[in-house]
Amino acid sequence: MDITGLKTAIKAEVAKRRSQLAKLSLKIHANPELGLHEERAAGWLTDYLKENGFRIERGICEMPTAFRAVYGKGKPVLAFLAEYDALPGLGHACGHNIICTAAVGAGIAAKLAADNFPGTIQVIGTPAEELIGGKITMAERGAFNGLDMAVLVHPGTLNMATSKALACVTLEVEFFGKAAHAAAEPEVGRNALEALILAYNGVNSLRQHVRPSARLHGIITDGGKAANIVPAHSAGTFLVRAIDDTYLAELKQRVLDCFSGAAAATGTRLEYRWSNHYAPMRNNMVLGRLFQQNMTELGRTVLLEEPHDNFGSTDMGNVSQIAPAIHPFVAIAPSGTASHSPEFAAAAASENGIKGMLDAAKAMAMTAADLLASPELVNQVKVEFK
């Protein structure tokens, strides 16, 4: 089968499964599960893939809700990545129900290419993208080694073939002071809340003196137990983001100085822990152009690169450091709709959400067909990555 005929067949295969994929997406949307607890979503996705001829390995990387589904054999190895965790209190306000069903739809449609050319199709289930960064752990445990392509399409308000993502790290802090009666003898206390407030204000002041692309933000998770007791303990969680890991390392020290200085000023003790290092996104432009061409064939106007600097972080960045990768966006909501909002959660279950999911599945599978049909394209992807 020539590539034109193959892509026509892929589009027809996804269209044929519209009802099944939409039902799966809406079922996951209606049953949101937080990161590392996506038992139902992972079960529904792997059951559907198994029904459609994939070999299933559940609980990979010692993570119960992670999985790998495999079809075909040999090289190249092309993977579609699925996310299916929800946000606390907001459900699928990031549209991960669309991400996972698009990946599953792409994998099943790409079987047509694997039946005509040598190569392997994988759908990799990656839990806990939000807050925890499940792909960070999976990358450390080898889940993405040996891939020749890794693609994850995210819903949004623009159609883009590649996307930026900041390096990001989590800082968890605790201050330990000394409790005392806040009115009778405050002078014997050491106020842990005051330490955290001083540090918070220090971070806030630091924002004026960092690069425009950097982001510093956080919350207080413990500010004391009663108003008439000098708080002996306080805690907070902060995120530090930068365009690359070099500047991230510099910012980490400057932020930590805010907390160390606050501890010294208040006579409290600081304990801290850095975790969840999200790497910056490294886009493979050969893959990006292929995806852009295939989305254009589906009737969408697609930007190759993001036109502005309003971007966050994703653990897909960690994958992109190991294997050639892209993290495209498909528009499902009007411009100006905020992600991580009730409005975006509604869009993820809308007719536009379903259409975006189907187009993403088609374009990913068509991109896989391009690569399986052309060893030269695979080599171009590898050359750029190296």
Lowest mean pLDDT among 223-232, 303-312, 355-364: 303-312
pLDDT at 310: 56
pLDDT digits (tens, 9 = 90+) for 80-136: 999 999 999 999 999 999 999 999 999 999 999 999 999 999 999 999 999 899 999
| pLDDT digits 0-9 by tens, 273-293 | 999 999 999 999 999 999 999
Per CATH, the homologous superfamily of domain 3-165+281-385 is Zn peptidases (3.40.630.10)
171-to-131, 146, 200, 318, 319 alpha-carbon distances in Å: 12, 32, 12, 18, 22
Strands 167-176 and 269-278: antiparallel
Tell me how many degrees the CA angle 242-245-247 measures, rounded to the nearest 5: 55
CA atoms of 184 and 257, how far apart (whole Å): 33
pLDDT at 1: 79
Contacts of 68 (CB under 8 A, 6+ apart): 56, 57, 60, 122, 123, 124, 125, 143
Whether the per-residue pLDDT at 208 is higher than 80: the answer is yes
312 pLDDT band, cuts 50/70/90, is confident
Domain limits, the chain: 3-165+281-385, 167-278
DSSP-derived 3-state class of residue 233: strand
Do 164 and 309 form a contact (C-beta atoms < 8 A)?
yes
Assess contact for 95 and 155: CB atoms under 8 A: yes
The alpha helices in the chain, defined as continuous H runs, are 3-16, 18-30, 39-51, 96-114, 134-140, 192-206, 245-266, 285-297, 316-320, 342-347, 351-373, 375-385
The per-residue pLDDT for 182 is 96
Residue 15: pLDDT band with limits 50, 70, 90: very high
Taking all residues of the chain, what is their mean pLDDT, rounded to a whole number? Answer: 97
pLDDT band at 306 (very low <50, low <70, confident <90, very high): confident
**Mean per-residue pLDDT for 337-362?**
97
Same fold, 3-165+281-385 and 167-278: no
The answer to whether the beta carbons of residues 34 and 127 sit under 8 Å apart is no
Fold that domain 167-278 belongs to in CATH: Alpha-Beta Plaits (3.30.70)
Residues 254, 216: Cα–Cα separation, whole Å:
11
Q: Are 323 and 147 a contacting pair, CB within 8 Å? A: yes
Q: Rounded distance, CA 20 to CA 3, Å?
A: 26
Residues 219, 173 contacting (CB under 8 angstroms): no
* Torsion angles phi and psi, residue 72, rounded to 5: 90, -170
Band (237; pLDDT cuts 50, 70, 90): very high
What is the pLDDT, as a whole number, of residue 131? 83
pLDDT digits (tens, 9 = 90+) for 41-54: 999 999 999 999 99
Residue 169 belongs to what H/E stretch?
strand 167-176
Beta bridge partners of 171: 238, 274
State the pLDDT at residue 309: 58
Helix (H, G, I), strand (E, B) or coil at 304: coil
Give the pairing of strands 77-82 and 119-125: parallel
